[in-house]
Amino acid sequence: MDSILVTGNGPLNGDIPIAGAKNACLTLMPATLLSEDPLTLTNAPRLSDIKTMTALLQSLGAEVSSLNAGNVLAMSSHGLTTQRAEYDIVRKMRASILVLGPLLARFGYAEVSLPGGCAIGARPVDLHLKAMEAMGAEMDLRDGYVHAKAPAGGLKGGIVEFPFASVGATENALMAATLAKGTTEIRNAAREPEIVDLADCLRKMGAQIEGDGTSTITIQGVDRLGGATHRVVTDRIELGTYMLAPAFCGGEVTCLGGKISLLEAFCEKLDAAGISVEETDKGLKVARKNGRVQAVDVTTEPFPGFPTDLQAQMMALLCTAEGTSVLEEKIFENRFMHAPELVRMGAQIDVQGGTATVHGVERLKGAPVMATDLRASVSLILAGLAAEGETRVSRVYHLDRGYEHVEEKLSALGAKIERISGE
Ligand code: UD1
């Protein structure tokens, strides 16, 4: 297994490119299943999760070609061979459940393995299943698979009312509703930019959707969808992660293509912590204002609130802030696994349930640490870049799920970072 070695090396300066959003791409790819015409995605990120979704779509008989070094995905689902998504692939990635809605809507039938548990909490799929039921589907859980059957004549428009906002369940419901007969209203819908991006792509394919980006989305079903070419939206989580690089290390970094509107709540917290963010025509220019980072309290919330996917990175930053910060995790119940690793580097963190209290120390010290999930892994790399001495982050396969070319991108800013393969 690869590990990454980082050494504290002073300020970081320069421009850093930000890729297309992993989470948008993972829902745009299954949208190809809705149509027999080709769907082409540009600005796709080069990540192992995208390879997993490629393998899943190919296992269903879809054609997926990766062009321009993985930056373009040309897909076609004209000749699907099965509506069954097998456990062997689905277990690798929870987002696999996103093939359910499209398959059910186009073919009236789908079998999808239940995704396995996940390190950051129980993460059930009940809301996805309820959404399909609201459109008339019969759902049966047998042998670890969801067996979904639409009524004769296909899914019917209906009211999908979520008890709380779920990104994935909203995406599944939205895709399914595009081909359902009649009107569907999704209430308490998630409002993330990745959902707006999906709706934009579906509209290009011929779907009739209104209200995406608000908590009520209305979809008028159509008989068929056509092909489209769509550019994947900027990855706001990769953006936020690299915005933190100069906050940790000093210097001035421009995250190319970044926009404040993607990360308003996060930018407000950076401002309060003493980090300046300026939107220019190139992207977001970030620098530490003066002296030490200041403690701030953070609560994760659905969009437009502070994203749970930036909580680990923010906690790592606050470990060396002046004062005490309180972080509350409201989305996932077990998402502080990076805290004990940061403690190994000298951080002072008390975790009680969903609340972590971080008492800022002057500086962290390098140590061997272990990545426990995707965002935790990058938080340890950032912490290592600002720590005294060497930090070796093991189990970085998590990192490769969500960050392309991390070493190259950070080295270009002046960071001392290298991958050590195969140990
Ligand atoms: C997506 C993102 C993930 C991000 C999360 C929250 C993708 C591929 N992943 O995950 O990076 O951290 O949004 O912003 O886009 N829940 C249920 N039942 C369900 C579905 C969800 O109880 O059927 C719960 C989850 O356990 C969690 C909460 O709802 O506590 C929100 O999860 P959700 O928004 O669905 O996250 P994902 O779509 O899995």
CA distances from 137 to 60, 87, 110, 342 (A): 21, 22, 10, 46
52-96 pLDDT, tens per residue? 999 999 999 999 999 999 899 999 999 999 999 999 999 999 999
Active-site residue 249, yes or no?
Answer: no
What pLDDT, on a 0 to 100 scale, did the predictor assign at position 333?
A: 82
Q: How many CB atoms lie within 10 A of CB 214?
A: 11
Please check the confidence at residue 351 and state whether its pLDDT lies above 60.
yes
Task: Quickly state the pLDDT bin for 121 (edges 50, 70, 90).
Answer: low
Q: Is 170 in the pocket of ligand 1 (CB under 6 A)?
A: no
Share of the chain above pLDDT 90, in %: 91
Q: How confident is the model at residue 1 (pLDDT cuts 50, 70, 90)?
A: confident
Mean pLDDT of 185-208: 98
User: Measured in angstroms, how far is the CA atom of residue 235 from the centroid of ligand 1?
Assistant: 17
The pLDDT, as a whole number, for residue 334 is 82
* Residue 29 DSSP one-character state: T
Q: What is the CATH superfamily name and number for domain 22-231? A: Enolpyruvate transferase domain (3.65.10.10)
User: What fold does the segment set 3-18+234-420 form as a domain?
Assistant: UDP-n-acetylglucosamine1-carboxyvinyl-transferase; Chain (3.65.10)
Please give the Cα distance from 216 to 199 (Å, whole number): 13
Residue 291, pLDDT score: 86
pLDDT at residue 120 tops 80: no
pLDDT of residue 119: 52
3-29, pLDDT tens digit by residue?
999 998 889 999 999 999 999 999 999
Q: Above 70 in pLDDT, residue 122?
A: no
pLDDT band at 31 (very low <50, low <70, confident <90, very high): very high
Which tokens is 285 given?
A: 């220019």
DSSP 73-104: EEEE-TT---SEE-HHHHTT-GGGGGGHHHHH
Query: Which of 100, 123, 308 gets mutated to test ligand 1 (max ligand atoms within 8 A of its CB)?
Result: 123
User: Residues spanned by CATH 3.65.10.10 within the chain?
Assistant: 3-18+234-420, 22-231
Backbone angles phi, psi at 405, to 5 degrees: 50, 45
Mutation pick for ligand 1 pocket among 29, 99, 132, 166 (CB with most ligand atoms within 8 Å): 166
